[in-house]
Homo-oligomer: A and B are copies of this chain.
Amino acid sequence: MILSALLTSVGINLGLCLLFFTLYSILRKQPGNVGVYAPRLVAQGQSQASAEFNLERLLPTAGWVRTAWQPSEEHLLSTLGLDAVVVVRIFIFSLKVFTFAGIVGVFVLIPVNFLGNQLSEDFSDLPNKSLDSFSISNVNVGSNRLWIHFCAAYVFTGVVCYFLYCESLYISSKRIAYFYSCKPQAHQFTVLVRGIPVSPESSCGETVERFFTEYHPSTYLSHTVLRRTSKVQGLISDAEKIRKRLAHLKLSTQSEQRFRRDGFLGIFGRKVDIIDHYERKLGDLEDNLRMEQSSLGKQEVPAAFVSFKSRLGAAIALHIPQGVNPTEWVAERAPEPQDVHWPFFSSSFIKIWIFKLVVVVACVSLTILFLIPVLIVQGLTNLEQLETWFPFLESILKLNVVSQVITGYLPSLILHLFLSLVPPIMIFFSSMQGYMSFSQIEKSACTKVLWFTIWNIFFANVLSGSALYQVNIFLEPKKIPKVLAEAVPSQAAFFIAYVVTSGWTSLSSELFRLIPLICSFFKRLFAGKDSNEFDVPSTPYHSVVPRIVFFGLLGVTYFFLAPLILPFLIIYYCMGYIIYRNQLLNVYSSKYETGGKFWPIVHNSMIFSLILMHVIAIGIFGLKKLPLASSLIIPLPILTLLFDQYIRRRFLPIFKAYPVECLVNKDRADENDPAMAEFFDKLVSAYRDPALDPLQYSRNTDGQNAPLLGAAEV
């Protein structure tokens, strides 16, 4: 790709971004769109849309930037929770890292690269210069200037590690502070116990009661045995749907809509009263439901939520093996009550085992299938190949603008579209794996999406060729540096374009929320004014975090290969910082709080990026005939791994479990709290499966809210 093509791409994308920002600043002020652009505020009753028309509503303003910028971190922490703050901190961390990298890259490395003449182009025609002139490929073979790159790699690694340390320290201290500051929560006092050895003569509940009163006499509080409720849950959601439909029908007074033929597609057969029809159906469903619920008592799963009177009590049950047989009485951390993924408990352990295997196979298949769009994209960057494939396009492709748009913009847009399908698929895969909470599912999907992105966007593009060839490389460890050193720099232009298009586009589409906007528009068009209801979307950590982190990988890897990528990355992170703050404050609301458990994923990915950079550096210095530099780089990955080990020992345990010191202090602080008695009363029934509660169900019969959500609140 030449410089002018890149500039075209930058121009198009900047224009698009500005357009989207302008549209957003207008549309967000329309009262009808408040459900799209500020559902979180509406749900909290903080936003009052004024129906009056004034001129200001039609003028684009930048006020939203100010409101997104202003709130302090303490404010974010108290209103949004620690997970949201971690997302913001990832941007701050990345900005710190790439500001440093950008200064070194632009003022030191790019001039050095540009002064080389390995690619033997002339100086005169800047716009038609290949982007490779700014990359390490342009430095002469054997040139001593490469030692500048060598030093840059060392210094940059040191700086990244320093920032990683500071950030880990900051977030882990926030995590502890958050634990101290939050109110007593049900999941802090509870563990999930699986593998309860139920004897034929006593029920599961009795066994649990006996075991814990025997071995945890001073701290045991209560338990909730789990039941297979997937069938009941299906019935409840069916009934819910029909009830909603019915309510809607009853409201619409047009009598001609009330009758429909009951035959094929509603065209043939005799006319029936639809309301009557639905009411009968609902009645049947409810009978069915009551029957199923009454038989649930026998369908116990040998697992139970066990609650304790203190956090330390729960920690003791969690950390120390309970029974003589280690496969029995297996305790794990309980999720928050509203975070429990109830359908999970219907699967047996063997099923989960099989599903885990299935998920592995599915992930591999998805990875292989995804090579198809990647190959198409690669065809687009190589215009010559495209011409040989589709000869009739030749005349169009000769137009300068068309070719620039195609090489500069289309490839990453296509990739971006395909990639946006991956997070929901991964969520689906993770939910099959038998996790018992949404937060675990999302965290697992987050890791899956990240590695999928790294493999399919980075490695598949870099290595090209068949999938088999890619795998084969990793079976010959000695060749990896050389292969990467040859392949990675040659793809620099593609990844610069990828940051500009995919990165910037993803940000503006995140802000603009095109699809919810269209949905809301059509809903209002067809459903009329009354259906003002909307769901507050939950923060999509599993797609947001991998995306931010992947751009970090690109930045680290290309830092000393093609520093031209860095300015565009910095723009990405600056815009992203504002936009995600805006979205977190206005749009999303988290359904759970993991207390910053997404941070270790960022740390791991950063360490991986550094090691990848070092491996490429070893290869590059080898190719550039500087064997001394190549060997002197080797201590760098080793030092990085040692640093990683240290961080793992120093900070990771804090993200896994709270120490005795915190537990005892917090327990002691609660002792004098008069609200604790009430809390313990609630705790006893906090983990009741919503599908099990007939009272809850009948109470809500005419309500709009699903009983699932109603019962989940403590």
- On A, residues with C-beta under 8 Å from B are 176, 214-216, 315-317, 319-327, 329, 475-478, 649-654, 657-664
Contact = CB atoms under 8 A, between A and B. Distances in A.
A320 B215 contact: no
Given A475-B478, A478-B475, A664-B215, A659 B324 contact: yes
B326 A650 contact: yes
A326 B654 contact: yes
A326 B663 CA distance: 14
A86 to B, nearest CB: 19
A321 B659 contact: yes
A322 B661 contact: yes
Q: State the 4 A-B residue pairs at the shortest beta-carbon distance, nearest first.
A: A326-B653, A319-B319, A321-B659, A215-B664
20 contacts: A215-B660, A216-B660, A316-B316, A319-B319, A320-B659, A321-B653, A321-B657, A322-B661, A323-B659, A323-B660, A323-B661, A324-B654, A324-B659, A326-B650, A326-B659, A329-B659, A475-B476, A475-B477, A475-B478, A476-B476
Contacts of A660: 215-216, 316-317, 320-323
A176 B324 contact: yes
Contacts of A326: 649-654, 659
A325 B215 contact: no
A664 B322 CA distance: 10
A215 B662 CA distance: 9
Copy tally for this chain in the complex stands at: 2
Nearest to A656: B321
A320 B661 CA distance: 10
B478 A659 contact: no
A320 B327 contact: no
Nearest to A217: B664
B215 A661 contact: yes
A214 B216 CA distance: 21
A476 B478 CA distance: 10
A324 B661 contact: yes
A210 to B, nearest CB: 12
Contacts of A316: 316, 320, 660
A216 to B, nearest CB: 8
A659 B653 CA distance: 22
Nearest to A175: B324
Contacts of A650: 325-327
Contacts of A214: 664
Contacts of A662: 324
Chain B CB count within 10 A is highest, among A215, A216, A663, for A215
A31 to B, nearest CB: 49
Contacts of A475: 476-478
Given A319-B320, A476-B476, 8 more contacts: A215-B660, A216-B660, A319-B319, A320-B657, A320-B659, A321-B658, A322-B661, A326-B651
Contacts of A315: 320
A649 B324 contact: no
Given A320-B316, A322-B661, A477-B475, A649 B327 contact: yes
Nearest to A315: B320
A602 B614 CA distance: 40
A654 B321 CA distance: 9
A325 B214 CA distance: 34
Interface centre among A316, A324, A478 (most CB of B within 10 A): A324
A475 to B, nearest CB: 7
A315 B664 CA distance: 16
